[in-house]
A and B are shown apart, each in its own frame.
Chain A
Amino acid sequence: MADIAQLKSVSSQVRRDIVRMVHANNSGHPGGSLGCVEYFVALYFEILNHNPSDFDMDGFDEDIFFLSNGHISPVWYSTLAHSGYFEKAELATFRKLNSRLQGHPATEEGLEGIRIASGSLGQGLSVGIGTAMTKKLNGEDSLVYTLHGDGELQEGQIWEAAMYAAANKVDNVIATVDYNGRQIDGDVDDVLSLGDLEGKWKAFGWEVITEDNGNDMESVINVLNKAKTLTGKGKPVMILLRTEMGQGVDYMMGTHKWHGAAPNDEQLVNALGQLEETLGDY
């Protein structure tokens, strides 16, 4: 069982990394990144069966993760670095010229841990289902995990994929929606309401778990473990994970305004004052 205190400590450092990375080049997406820290840390430090020190694109016999909402790349990069995929010093190159840490994740320069480009929304569920089918053909019992924004569910391709996975019993995929209720233009309910989201996924034939405490480490680990127990039973699995955009930095919470905005020098100091340095800043 996980040492929750240790995972919380990693989370604090990841949050520091996120605000520092975004501040350093005055661009990026801190809000969703901060809201998904517990998910990423739980996944990479507790849930995934993976091999950070020897990254392989094909990932045979490894669990594989795809980030569909690629704009929250800071939380992924920081988590990958702290997991041992690449040196954390490289986080300093985020969004800079000649960096492997592109604004949105890319495979072109071989950044360890990234298996497909994402950024244009709605594509990652299809990709994950494809890899899950390959795992079945290869006789592997590893799992595929995907993460999506809730606003991203407005993309039609998501529902094509949802229909396909259920109809074809792709039951080795665990998708998660970062259900923070916010997108660039405002609240999801105001921009284009998703309606009864749990009912929609159920109607599409998915096993659905809603977790209201998506920023509580223990709850996130528990829901991911529960999702694992639901795989292999003929249905794809969806976790609707309620999170708070901007979690951990008070002035970024309760608003959509920090979806894609960087803190200034003063705001950075304020944010870092709220986040303990635990593993050493990059």
Chain B
Amino acid sequence: MKEYPVLGKKDTRSGFGDGLLELGKKNDQVVAMCADLTGSLKMGAFKEAFPDRFFQAGIAEANMIGMAAGMTIGGKIPFTGTFANFSTSRVYDQIRQSIAYSEKNVKICASHAGLTLGEDGATHQVLEDIGMMKMLPNMCVINPCDYNQTKAATLAIADYEGPVYLRFGRPSVPIFMPEDMPFEIGKGIMLSEGTDVTIVATGHLVWKALEAAKELEGKGISAEVINIHTIKPLDEEIILNSVMKTKCIVTAEEHQIAGGLGESVSSLLCRTIPTPQEFVAVDDTFGESGTPAELMTKYGLDTIDIVTACEAVMTRK
């Protein structure tokens, strides 16, 4: 299989922060808003460089979302930043009416998504956000996999006209996507070709999918690995082409099974090419306090879980 050397380790939120700073220099219509989490969102550099275009909303997320919608009228491109749970469930109705239904050009940027937030526990570990956001008409949903891809995605969404939900995380994770790779919204990336089983992963699980493919290779199983960074709109073509070849699929994500990438994939496949599928995702439960690594193990989101799922799904062909 294709090798992806580790280029370093960094948190995806830093990719957002660095991307936002670069955007600030490139596009003077870009403004940023934050709800008292400037440091956590890595928005400090933008704030420092462009104080007139940075708006501290305080711990008042509903108002921040509404103001962001209003700021688009007159041409600004607001990037809002807070934790993923405060970016979605806390302000769902504001996003639904003032941004999605009103088709406002707001970029909702959400850090600390999923279990890898770690010790803060389930109140902060949102695992339903992809589902909530993808259900909204007009909303584009993106979950990049590493620092480089998050930075590229941050730059790309400024050029996309319309509401976007950009999801990233807290922990330091391997960097393996090329620094200069342009980000194409809605276009999956074929990471490694294979013939026996398809693994479609998003976010932090993409690296684990590559690790799993390597383990499977040692067992004589050829896995195809696809990086689906954009959950909506979904790149249907890359998935359908793959399952036509492999005849089975595993989806992997740091999210509930309900509402996640896996559900989007199964919805596509049942309408087109009914295909055996296994889900590596959280199964209808909240998280808890613990280290990110402990949590990923306990809730079944590790490399070994993807390997096991691949072996299981292959028996169902």
Contacts and interface: CB of A to CB of B under 8 A. Distances in A.
Interface of A: 57-60, 64, 66, 106-108, 115-120, 122-135, 137-138, 140, 156-157, 160-161, 163-164, 167-168
A127 B98 contact: yes
Interface of B: 31, 52-53, 55, 57-58, 60, 62-76, 78, 93-94, 96-98, 101-104
B63 A160 contact: yes
Given A107-B102, A117-B102, A164-B60, A126 B74 contact: no
B31 to A, nearest CB: 7
Given A107-B102, A123-B94, A133-B55, A163 B73 contact: no
Contact of A60 (B65, B69, B74, B104): B74
A122 B104 CA distance: 18
Contacts of B57: 164
A115 B103 contact: no
B138 to A, nearest CB: 9
Contact of B98 (A116, A129, A160, A164): A116
Nearest to A127: B70
A137 B70 CA distance: 13
Contact of A127 (B52, B55, B66): B66
Contacts of A107: 101-103
A131 B31 contact: no
Q: Which of A57, A119, A164 has the most CB of B within 10 A?
A: A164
Q: Which of B58, B71, B94 has the most CB of A within 10 A?
A: B71
A205 to B, nearest CB: 14
Nearest to A164: B63
Given A59-B74, A131-B70, A157-B66, A137 B97 contact: no
Contact of B73 (A117, A125, A131): A131
A66 B60 CA distance: 21
Contacts of A132: 70
A125 B66 contact: yes
Given A126-B66, A133-B71, A108 B103 contact: yes
Given A117-B101, A127-B70, A160 B76 contact: no
B65 A58 contact: no
B67 A133 contact: yes
B35 to A, nearest CB: 10
A157 B70 contact: no
B52 to A, nearest CB: 7
B103 to A, nearest CB: 6
A126 B70 contact: yes
A64 B73 contact: yes
A134 B94 contact: no
A126 B73 contact: no
